[in-house]
Amino acid sequence: MTPLAPQTETEKDKEDLVLVLAPMGRDASLTANILSSAGLDTQVCETMEDLARETRVGAGCALLTEEALSSSDVRVLARALRRQPPWSDFPLIIFTSRGDITHARVRTLSFFEGFRNVTFFERPVRIMTLVSVVHAALAARRRQYEVRDLLARLERAIEQRDEFLAMLGHELRNPLTAILNSIQYLRRAAGTNADAGSSYEIIERQSLHLARLMDDLLDVARVTSGKVTLQRSPLDLRDVARRCVQILAPLLDAHGHDLELSLGEKPLGVDGDPVRIEQMLSNLLTNAIKYTPRGGRIQVQARGEDGQAILSVKDSGVGIDPDTLPHIFDLFAQGPATLERSQGGLGIGLTLVKRLVEMHGGSVEASSEGLGCGSEFTLTFPLLEERARDAAGPEASGPVSKERASRKILIIEDNDDNRNTLRALLACMGHDVDVAQDGMLGIERARAFKPEVALIDIGLPGLNGYRVAEALRTEPWGGGMVLIALTGYGQSEDRKRAFEAGFDAHLVKPVNFENLLSLLDTARNS
C-alpha cells in the first residue's frame, strides 16, 4: 500500500475550494460571483486540464456545464477520476441544458454512470438550490478528508508499532544471547552433576521459548504489513518435518509425550521457504505439546494427495470448543482462560501460520470434536512436479560428526555480557579467542591477531559491522578470513546488506550455538 503523504498547508487551504468550468459566455464568472457572495471559496478553471490538475492538489467539488464536456475533455476528466486514491470520491455537479436528447448527449452523459458522486441539474437553476447543492457536496467531501486523515493516522500508528517491535526485538535479543551463551558454557564446564544438568536444560528450554515468542511477535507484524518475502527453493517436506521434530525432541521428552512420525517413503516436493515452513510446523507442534496433558499422544503425518503435499499435526490434548474453532486463526485469538488451560501464549502463532502458508499458495485447517477431544491442524501445499522435485536433489539426512580443532576467533561485540560469555564458551572448547568492544578496535585487533574467523556484531559504536567487514576484506590477509555477522535484525534486506559488505554468514541473536559450530566446521574445510 502506498503511504499516505501528509497534507501541506496549501493543500488543506483548498479542501473547501469549489472549481467552476463553464466555457460559454459569462457563465463561469456569474456562477463564481454567486458562490462567492454565499461565502464559498471559488476558482474558475479555463480548461478541463486545469480542473483535473486542481482536483489532484485538493479541491472540495467541481461545478461544470454540459458545454464543457467534449469527447476529449471527458477523457481528461475520466483519467483524473480514475486516479483518485481509495478514500476519495470527488463530487461533480453538472448542469445540463434544456433541449432535445441527442445521441451525442446521451453518450456523453452516460459516461458518468460509472461514478457515484455525480449530481445532474437541468438549467435554469435557482440560486438557493445552487448554493444548497454545493454546500451538500462540500460536506460530503469533508467527510472523505476525515477518512483520509484517519487512514494516515492509522498507517503511521502501524509504522510506529513495527518500529517499536523491531527495536524491542533487538533489545531483547542481547540478554537472551548472554543467557544462552552462559548455559552452553556452564553445561560444558560443570562436569556430570545431574541436578545442574537438569537446571541448565530448563533454563535453556525456557530461554528458547522466549526467543520463539519474540520471533513470532515480530514476524506476525511483518507478515500482516506485507514486509516478509519468502526465500523459496524446491525441498522435500519430509526433511523439514524430521528437522523440526528433532529440534523439539527435548520439549516432547520434558512433557512425557509419545510422538508418532509417519512420513511415508515417497518424496513430497514443494516450492517453499524451508525456514518459514519449519516455523509453521514448529508452532503447530509446540501448541500440541503445550495443550496436551502429560503422557499424551501426538501424531505428525505427511502425505501426497490430489496434487497436494499435506502435513498434519494431531494431538490427544484439551481440544477446541465449537465457539472458538471458527476464530482460531484470528490475531490474538485464544480459547477461554481456565486454571486447567493456563499455558495460552500471545495468540499470534496460528495467525502467523495461516499467513505464511497462504504466501506459499497453500492453506491450513483446524478440526476438533470439542473440549477434551484433542485437535488436528493440517497444512496443505501445492505439490511440485516430478522434474522440479528431482532438481532439488537429495538433502542431507542428518548432521555429520566432525572433529573440532582449535581456531583463532575474534569477537567484535559492544555488549559486555554477550562478548564475555561467548568468549568463555568458545575458549572452553579449546579455541584461541580475542575480543574487541567496538569497530575501530576490532580492526586493530584483527591486524595484530590475524584470526581465521571473525564474529562481528552489526550495531557497533563508531564504526558499524558492515564497515568493519568491508575494511577487513581490503586487508591482504582478510580475503580468506571467515566473517560471520551477529545481529538482532534478521530481515531479508539485512541479510542482503551483510553479504554485500563481505560477510560469509548472517546469524540472528540469540544464536543457535550448534549452527555456529556448523559454520565454523564448514569454514575450516572450505
Domain 9-154 shares a fold with domain 408-525: yes
Top mean pLDDT of 133-147, 163-177, 237-251, 489-503 is at 133-147
Q: Write the CA distances from 509 to 64, 113, 177, 207, 506, integer angstroms.
A: 63, 58, 6, 12, 10
pLDDT surpasses 70 at 199: no
Give tens-digit pLDDT for 423-443: 888 888 889 999 999 999 999
pLDDT surpasses 60 at 332: no
pLDDT at 447: 94
Cell of 246: 528433532
Residue whose C-alpha is closest to residue 382's, from 268, 232, 231: 268
- At 451, the amino acid letter reads P
β pairing state of 482-487 and 505-508? parallel
> Which CATH number is associated with domain 233-392?
3.30.565.10
Distance CA 67, CA 23 (A): 7
> Which CATH number is associated with domain 9-154?
3.40.50.2300
Distance CA 353, CA 330 (A): 11
pLDDT at 213: 62
Residues of the chain with pLDDT > 70: what percent?
A: 75
Distance CA 421, CA 189 (A): 13
φ/ψ of residue 427, rounded to 5 = -65, -40
Distance CA 189, CA 19 (A): 80
DSSP designation for 260: E
**DSSP assignment of 184-246, as one string?**
HHHHHHSTT-HHHHHHHHHHHHHHHHHHHHHHHHHHHHHHHTT------EEEEHHHHHHHHHH
**Residue 126: helix, strand or coil by DSSP?**
coil
**509 or 369: whose pLDDT is higher?**
369
58 and 43 in contact (C-beta within 8 Å)? Answer: no
Domain boundaries of the chain, sorted by first residue: 9-154, 162-224, 233-392, 408-525
**Residue 291: helix, strand or coil by DSSP?**
coil
pLDDT surpasses 60 at 195: no
Residues in the chain: 526
**406 or 43: whose pLDDT is higher?**
43
291 and 259 in contact (C-beta within 8 Å)? Answer: no
Q: Write the CA distances from 226 to 162, 259, 277, 286, 519, integer angstroms.
A: 12, 35, 17, 25, 31
pLDDT band at 367 (very low <50, low <70, confident <90, very high): very high
**Residue 160: helix, strand or coil by DSSP?**
helix
Beta strands in 232-315 (DSSP E): 233-236, 258-262, 269-272, 297-305, 308-315
For the chain, give the mean pLDDT.
81
Cell of 196: 545442574
**DSSP assignment of 495-520, as one string?**
HHHHHHHT-SEEEESSP-HHHHHHHH
- Kindly tell me the burial class for residue 163, based on how many C-beta atoms sit within 10 Å of its own C-beta (0-12, 13-18, 19 or more): exposed
pLDDT surpasses 90 at 134: yes
Give tens-digit pLDDT for 245-281: 888 888 888 888 999 999 988 899 999 988 889 889 9
pLDDT at 340: 38
Top mean pLDDT of 158-167, 305-314, 350-359 is at 305-314
- Chain mean position to CA 110: 44
**79 or 196: whose pLDDT is higher?**
79
Domain 408-525 has CATH 3.40.50.2300: yes
Cell of 383: 505439490
pLDDT surpasses 80 at 27: yes
pLDDT at 290: 86
pLDDT band at 36 (very low <50, low <70, confident <90, very high): very high
Q: Name which of 13-17, 225-229, 488-492 the model is least confident about.
A: 225-229
Residue whose C-alpha is closest to residue 31's, from 461, 449, 21: 21
